Amino acid sequence: MSLSEETFDVVVIGGGAVGENAADRASRTGLSVALVESELLGGECSYWACMPSKVLLRAGAVRALARETPGLRDPGAPDVAAVLARRDEITSGWDDAGQVSWVEGAGLTPVRGHGRLAGERLVEVTVPESAVSSESGLGEAETGQTPVTRLLRARHAVIVATGSVPVLPDTPGVAEASPWSSREATSADAVPESLVVVGGGVVGVEMANAYADLGAQVTLLSRGGLLSGAEPFAGEMVADSLSGLGVDVRTGVDVKSVERPGAGLEGGAPGPVTVTLSDGGKITAAEILVATGRVPRTGDLGVESVGLDGSALGRGGALVVDESMQVSGVPGGWLYACGDVTGRAPTTHQGKYQARVVGDVVAARYGTEVGDRSPTSGDPEPAVGQEGKAWSRYAATADHTARVQVVFTRPQVSWVGPTERQARAAGLPVEAVSYDLSWVAGASVESPGYSGRAQVLVDTQRRVLVGATFVGPDAGEMLHAATIAVVGEVPLDRLWHAVPAYPTVSEVWLRFLESYGL
């Protein structure tokens, strides 16, 4: 069964945090926008990633702070049921009614179903008949579950914001062992007695920390070091902290095979999982979390229908975009993309930044209304700022120079811009300036056991910061000042006059400048 073609000015495929932002911004000059989502509006971050994972980590962080603060009683073991209940509250019980209300209130049209490209400015949405409504696709259930096709025609643009999906390594037995991904780890209804985590990236270290806090015996396996995208000292400090929590951290090891009796069979829970390592050792645990990477979600996007074959896609099947987030290789320039599907900067905050850019581009190029909250109509050509760099709201330049990342382990890790190794590989003349955060007066009043380290990268020719890394309690809250300095290319001589309050940990900024010789 097929429904007649419906027409909107803009169609956005993917209703997560990134797609919602792109749709909202695109609608601000009077454009009609359809927002297509096959699962929950709000997406991965709201229900299976950023938000629930931070709730799982929060209780342990507060407990540790209380134990380290003189004058407070030991809070004892965490109330696991209360932590999981709070997680359920944050995710609204995996019910997106609130998000649907926001989308409709913003003047957008939500459409349930799997969206894929079906030709020039055409999106095919496959949706169960029960979800079809004459108005929004979210109305009263109808009889039967026969898949129905809705055809959405975009007058001007289609924006793809389908995100990414986890990938499993080709290790024998992994797929058959019913492993957890980040989804299962953040939505589990109980804490397993033991957990083996494969992967030393952000998901791996955060979930190892969270489940150790909640009472599981955790083993963390990583082929390399931890947090390979950060400065080496950051991963080393996180490894030391995890070991202190009782996590068995093993780096430089490969998983050779995985076995799990009863996995995938109906009726009854599967048995324990046994992991065989490259050194011949074996680990047995109640559950296994495989967090070894994600790839752009383009596998069933219909890219071939608009002339994009494998050679036109980027690494992992990413949609290649320019600075305005327009997809390369599509005649007519009507296809755009943002977020993880572009492979540029796979974090929610960078994806939302790209969404703001592409939404404003589409609103300005095709919209007719101009208001206080709308970009100027017309063709948005990037404005060129100092030293030839684009500082326009219509160009996602921060993806290259000022990506930001926060890891909510204990200690937290945050960084902006390249690492020292990356900067030198790119030919930048940098000098690293490091400082022990425990030496700052603000740290001494936090707790007797405060520890942390911070480092900035100075471009010695231009005398501006190009990167910064912070490791320590609440390090994520320290990052934005560095981000502003990097994006604004603030000269060191001017930073000297940015006076940090005393006694706060931000006084480290003064110590950076003093260490550099100012």
| 205 & 308 share domain | no
Question: Are 177 and 124 members of one domain?
Answer: no
The rounded percent of the chain whose pLDDT value lies above 70 is 90
Per the structure, the complete domain to which residue 487 belongs is given by: 400-516
Mark whether 501 and 410 lie in a shared domain.
yes
Give the number of domains in the chain.
Answer: 3
Residues 104-158: pLDDT tens digits?
999 999 999 999 999 999 999 998 665 554 444 443 334 445 678 999 999 999 9
Structure tokens at 208: 């190892």
Same domain, 209 and 287: yes
Q: What is the mean pLDDT of the chain?
A: 91
Verify that 225 and 354 share a domain, yes or no: no
* Reported confidence tier of residue 3, pLDDT bands at 50, 70, 90: low
Determine contact, residues 132/142, Cβ cutoff 8 Å.
yes
pLDDT at position 151: 96
Which domain CATH number covers 364? Answer: 3.50.50.60
Tell whether 420 is covered by a domain.
yes
Radius of gyration of the CA atoms of the chain, in A? 24
- Does residue 200 lie in a domain region? yes
**Residue 262 confidence (pLDDT):** 77
Q: Cα–Cα distance between 508 and 512 in angstroms, integer?
A: 6
Are both 472 and 503 inside the same structural domain? yes
- Does pLDDT of 73 surpass 90? no
Domain edge (last residue) among 243, 259, 292: 292
Q: Looking at the structure, tell me whether residues 321 and 466 fall in a common domain.
A: no
Do 182 and 264 fall into the same domain? yes
The pLDDT, as a whole number, for residue 388 is 46
Q: What proportion of the chain, given as a percentage, has pLDDT over 90? A: 81
Mean pLDDT of 214-235: 96
Work out the widest C-alpha separation in the chain, in whole angstroms.
75
Question: Is a pLDDT exceeding 70 seen at residue 68?
Answer: yes
Could you tell me if 178 and 220 lie in one domain? Answer: yes
In whole angstroms, what is the distance from residue 325 CA to residue 327 CA? 6
Same domain flag for 343 and 197 = no
Residue 500 scores a pLDDT above 50: yes
Q: Is 384's pLDDT higher than 50? A: no
Q: Within this chain, do residues 182 and 252 fall inside the same structural domain, yes or no?
A: yes
Q: For 188-214, what is the mean pLDDT? A: 97
Burial class (CB in 10 A: 0-12, 13-18, 19+), 417: buried
- pLDDT value for 447: 81
* Residue 76 pLDDT grade (very low, low, confident, very high; cuts 50, 70, 90): confident
pLDDT of 434-474, one tens digit each?
Answer: 999 999 999 988 888 889 999 999 999 999 999 999 999 99
Tokens of 1: 């069964």
Q: Identify the domain boundary among 292, 308, 328.
A: 292
Q: CB-based contacts of 335: which residues, under 8 Å, 6+ apart?
A: 117, 157, 158, 160, 306, 326, 327
Q: What integer pLDDT is reported at residue 80 of this predicted model?
A: 96
Residue 428 falls inside a structural domain: yes
* Residue 69 belongs to some domain of the structure: no
Do 276 and 313 fall into the same domain?
A: no
Note the pLDDT of residue 340. Answer: 97
Q: How confident is the model at residue 234 (pLDDT cuts 50, 70, 90)?
A: very high
Among 292, 325, 349, where does a domain finish? Answer: 292
